[in-house]
A and B are shown apart, each in its own frame.
Chain A
Amino acid sequence: MSEKNLLEMKGIGKTYFGTQVLKDINLGVKPGEIHGIVGENGAGKSTLMNILFGMSVIHSTGGYDGEILIDGQNVEIFSPLEAMELGIGMVHQEFMLLPSYTITENIKLNREELKPNVFSRLFGQNIKSLDFSSMNAQARRALDKLSISIEEYVTVAGLPVGYMQFTEIAREIDKSNLKLIVFDEPTAVLAESEASSLLEAMKSIAQQGIAILFITHRLDEVVEICHNITVLRDGQHVATKGRKATDVYELAELMVGRKVEKMTRQKKQVKKKESLLQIENLIVHMPGEEVKGVDLEVFQGEILGIGGLAGQGKVGIANGVMGLYPSKGKVLIGGELLKLNNPRVSMSKKLAYVSEDRRGVGLLMDSSLEMNIVINAIQNQNRFILKFGPFSLLNSRSIREHALKMIKELDIRCTGPAQVVKHLSGGNQQKVCIARALTMNPGILFVSEPTRGIDVGAKRLVLETLVQLNEEMGMTIIMTSSELGELRSITDRIAIVTGGKIAGILKPDDSDVDFGLLMSGQKSRKGA
């Protein structure tokens, strides 16, 4: 492969609203090359692909830096359509198929073969008939290239996901000008056998001279089929390695590795470990974050971190225990069995929850700060109200007092307790959520993605608040986060969730390699 690069991206950078999300990315792909791109969530993989496809989100936020060359020609891509015309295809993570159409129809949609008929001779192009036999033949040819035996005339609805995936791929390779095809996490939804036949198909596509960009977090797959591998981390280009020059361990370390900023925490005297919460075979049906049988033990007074990549089910655990999504399994609190699927029961057992979805689940956006803080206590503990027989009335004075206390303790920056929460900044909104959870006087606090969507300074404050609660009030905290660095900075132990199960539990100062391996679904070298 001494030919020149088909695609070259030079010094690509991207800034969203003043935040640098990509910086100086260089990438070269030759015809017939399979090039892997690996990185954690938020490493910049999707942004890079959005730039390549000219997505409007890039151009509406000020474009990008650097240049893209295709066949040595400098190009600027302003829409996905232009990308397609340049011969770039994409296999999406979510299928873009019409279920009630046949495979052929899906493959040829909007690129149909036409043949003239009586009416088209009279009235023009638009009413030509579809040439199904030639379309079927072409679809067949595309499917054969992937060595897929399925008939081209079946409808897509009801096909196994693997076949849907192949239909998507067939649609791309059927395009006659295709030079480069991007696979975005194609194996995420596939069973193991399907995944391995997909990898075979990718190899055979590459042998036909088409370049492939393979985005994934499954490192074993990358090492198996890629010729070259680029690692991104925090928007930076960390390394590009040839397959022979690297292995899974090195990639894992490159992917995760970062300077861990340890927060100043007093070393806790390691007391006798007392089990507080036991989770046995918990199954949670949370769309996009399915939990498929988690076993976990939480000790009194610790901060337990739950990490893992997006979509692997880490967020589902807290939602399941709190009764927000249908779940099955056994949860014991202090040895007592918890009735699942009922938020009221969970709250009555002194569990409190700060949701990962601050705007959707976490806050009443149009209500006042004080109402957001006390509403759970009003509804579940009959506090902050005056009782008159069967009737009740808000006790505005005690609500105000409590809100002021919380504002002071958590340092919530606001104009006053009556301010509407939608006018607060993200970090302060997060503190309101924490204040509501604290108002319930919880024994165990679940916090999910506490720093998502808030700026750096506020992140630190929120994390410090959690540490403070843990140290000063002895509160047991279970923190779920996609940011490994953040988990490693404040937790005592970190459980990594992969494929809906606990892949292993690590200490914050374990090596980057171990974290990287667990997160990408490999067994740790230690055997976890």
Chain B
Amino acid sequence: MKKFITDSFSSFGLARVIILGFFVFLCVMAVVLRLNISELLTSSLVRIGMWGVLVLAMLPAIVSGIGPNFGVSLGIVCGLVGGLTALEMAFRISHVTEFSGGVLFFIAILISLPFALLTGVSYGWLLNRVKGSEMMIATYVGFSIVSIMKIAWLFLPYASPEMAWPIGRGVRVQISLANRGVTRVLNNFLSFNIGDIVVPTGLFIFFALCCLLMWIFLRSRTGVAMYAAGDNPRFSEAAGINVNRSRIIGTTISTVLGAIGILVYAQSYGFLQLYEGPMFMPFVAVAAILIGGASVRKATITHVIIGTALFLGIQVVAIPVANAFTSDWSSMGEISRKIIQNGVILYALTQAGGD
């Protein structure tokens, strides 16, 4: 019996046990403190749905062997460009103006795709030249692109009044999607209530669809090649698999999912966040998949789902629980999130060597 417990303990992983324990502790506290549970659950569901695709973006990167994609900001930026361009079209082209929010959302995705594909391929090309230190390079690529785009946002010729600064040039820090009816289009699609809890059905359908497509892709010839290339490059060379090509495919899919992911996130949040916005988003996604049980070398869709639920669940519950103690601790929730996020990344990196 004791052996059984220790065995299942070690297969689950100490880190996840601690985090699960912390989550349970937070939930118990939430009940004890008589917080509004249904409100907490509703916002947990929304959070999980809005981050899901971004966390899923980590999967092809890890599977293809480049490790957690700290540079998913590249994809995020492509998604933002797609979003801005769609809004600009709605402002300038009269046909588009009449489109509903949902259509606009998919137009934004369509526009971001070519950018994401192009960026993803060249980013994959870059990562093939720095084998062995992908994660560090990716982190700096991520930081750099955010900084470069800070300048770009000031010069890109977007003129729609809802995004341009009233004086001077460039686009604003936060751009509301409410005017064009994009806010929560997915969340509200087929949404229903269980008691006081609102289920954002559309959001989950979209996430599930992405997961399903990924699942199918991993069972295709290309997907199998990508998995093998990530798992054992020397084996793959011998099996006639083009390892570099597989890594580029993995990176590109990750970047594309990053672009789609930020648009899903933005429609739920109600704003496109530019400038500093995408800076630390990759870290949240990386931490989430790692909490889900992935390592920097191995990941599955289950890891994505468990990790998103656990990590974003903690985020939602921690803040009100911390606030309930004293208003002076209002930043406790944010601090505990940071500690978990960076702690988990650190833990996963120290485990990178062994199984």
- Check A364–B232 contact: CB distance below 8 A: yes
Provide the residues of chain A in CB contact with B237, threshold 8 Å. Answer: 324, 343
Question: Among residues 308 to 326 in chain A, which have CB atoms less than 8 Å away from a CB atom of chain B?
Answer: 322, 324
Does any Cβ of B come within 8 Å of A303's Cβ? no
Question: Among residues 194 to 221 in chain B, which have CB atoms less than 8 Å away from a CB atom of chain A?
Answer: 216, 219-221
Provide the residues of chain A in CB contact with B227, threshold 8 Å. Answer: 367
- Check A379–B224 contact: CB distance below 8 A: yes
A353–B234 alpha-carbon span in the complex (Å): 14
Chain B nearest CB from A297 CB (Å) reads 25
Does any Cβ of A come within 8 Å of B162's Cβ? no
- Over the window 334-372 of chain A, the binary record of Cβ atoms lying under 8 Å from chain B Cβ atoms (1 yes, 0 no) is 000000000110010000010101001111111100010
- Check B221–A382 contact: CB distance below 8 A: yes
- Check A376–B239 contact: CB distance below 8 A: yes
Provide the residues of chain A in CB contact with B234, threshold 8 Å. Answer: 357, 360-361
- Check B235–A344 contact: CB distance below 8 A: no
- Check A385–B221 contact: CB distance below 8 A: yes
Contacts A366-B298, A385-B221 given; indicate if A376 touches B240 (C-beta within 8 A).
Answer: yes
Chain A nearest CB from B249 CB (Å) reads 13
Provide the residues of chain B in CB contact with A357, threshold 8 Å. Answer: 234
A380–B238 alpha-carbon span in the complex (Å): 11
Provide the residues of chain A in CB contact with B225, threshold 8 Å. Answer: 379
Does any Cβ of A come within 8 Å of B171's Cβ? no
**Helix, strand, loop or mixed for chain B's interface?**
helix
A379–B221 alpha-carbon span in the complex (Å): 7
- Over the window 460-485 of chain A, the binary record of Cβ atoms lying under 8 Å from chain B Cβ atoms (1 yes, 0 no) is 00000000000000000000000000
A363–B228 alpha-carbon span in the complex (Å): 10
A374's nearest neighbour on chain B, judged by CB, is B224
- Over the window 383-401 of chain A, the binary record of Cβ atoms lying under 8 Å from chain B Cβ atoms (1 yes, 0 no) is 0010000011110000000
Provide the residues of chain A in CB contact with B222, threshold 8 Å. Answer: 392
- Check B219–A380 contact: CB distance below 8 A: no
Chain A nearest CB from B230 CB (Å) reads 10
Interface size class of B (residues with CB under 8 A): 10 to 19
Question: Among residues 229 to 265 in chain B, which have CB atoms less than 8 Å away from a CB atom of chain A?
Answer: 231-232, 234-235, 237-241
A460–B216 alpha-carbon span in the complex (Å): 42
- Over the window 169-183 of chain A, the binary record of Cβ atoms lying under 8 Å from chain B Cβ atoms (1 yes, 0 no) is 000000000000000
Number of interface residues of A (CB under 8 A): 28
Provide the residues of chain A in CB contact with B216, threshold 8 Å. Answer: 393
Does any Cβ of B come within 8 Å of A225's Cβ? no
A362's nearest neighbour on chain B, judged by CB, is B235
- Check B221–A343 contact: CB distance below 8 A: no
A355–B234 alpha-carbon span in the complex (Å): 11
A353–B240 alpha-carbon span in the complex (Å): 12
Provide the residues of chain B in CB contact with A355, threshold 8 Å. Answer: 238
Provide the residues of chain A in CB contact with B231, threshold 8 Å. Answer: 364-367
Does any Cβ of B come within 8 Å of A375's Cβ? yes
- Check B298–A347 contact: CB distance below 8 A: no
A423–B228 alpha-carbon span in the complex (Å): 18
- Check B238–A353 contact: CB distance below 8 A: yes
- Check A364–B238 contact: CB distance below 8 A: no
**Helix, strand, loop or mixed for chain A's interface?**
mixed
A371–B234 alpha-carbon span in the complex (Å): 16
Contacts A347-B240, A393-B216 given; indicate if A361 touches B224 (C-beta within 8 A).
Answer: no
- Check B219–A363 contact: CB distance below 8 A: no
Provide the residues of chain B in CB contact with A379, threshold 8 Å. Answer: 221, 224-225, 239-241
Provide the residues of chain B in CB contact with A454, threshold 8 Å. Answer: none
A371–B221 alpha-carbon span in the complex (Å): 12
Does any Cβ of B come within 8 Å of A378's Cβ? yes
Provide the residues of chain B in CB contact with A385, threshold 8 Å. Answer: 220-221
Give the one of A363, A375, A391 with max B CB within 10 A: A375
A371's nearest neighbour on chain B, judged by CB, is B224
Provide the residues of chain B in CB contact with A371, threshold 8 Å. Answer: 224
- Check A322–B221 contact: CB distance below 8 A: no
A322's nearest neighbour on chain B, judged by CB, is B238
A357–B234 alpha-carbon span in the complex (Å): 10
Chain B nearest CB from A362 CB (Å) reads 7
A362–B228 alpha-carbon span in the complex (Å): 12
Chain A nearest CB from B293 CB (Å) reads 14
Give the one of B220, B221, B228, B241 with max A CB within 10 A: B221
- Check B240–A365 contact: CB distance below 8 A: no
Provide the residues of chain A in CB contact with B224, threshold 8 Å. Answer: 371, 375, 378-379, 394
A379–B227 alpha-carbon span in the complex (Å): 12
- Check A361–B240 contact: CB distance below 8 A: no
Chain B nearest CB from A6 CB (Å) reads 44
A365–B231 alpha-carbon span in the complex (Å): 9
A392–B222 alpha-carbon span in the complex (Å): 8
- Check B240–A392 contact: CB distance below 8 A: no
Provide the residues of chain A in CB contact with B221, threshold 8 Å. Answer: 378-379, 382, 385, 392, 394
- Check B239–A343 contact: CB distance below 8 A: yes
A364–B234 alpha-carbon span in the complex (Å): 10
Task: List the 10 closest A-B pairs by CB distance, nearest first.
Answer: A344-B240, A392-B221, A380-B240, A343-B240, A392-B220, A394-B219, A361-B234, A376-B239, A361-B238, A385-B221
Residue ranges of B at the interface with A (Cβ–Cβ < 8 Å) = 216, 219-222, 224-225, 227-228, 231-232, 234-235, 237-241, 298
> Can you list 17 pairs linking A and B with CB atoms under 8 Å apart?
A322-B238, A324-B237, A344-B240, A357-B234, A360-B232, A361-B232, A361-B238, A363-B235, A365-B231, A365-B232, A367-B228, A375-B228, A376-B240, A379-B225, A380-B239, A394-B219, A394-B220
Task: Taking A344-B240, A367-B231, A371-B224 as given, write out 4 further A-B residue pairs in contact, using a Cβ cutoff of 8 Å, ordered by the A residue number.
Answer: A343-B237, A343-B239, A361-B234, A378-B224
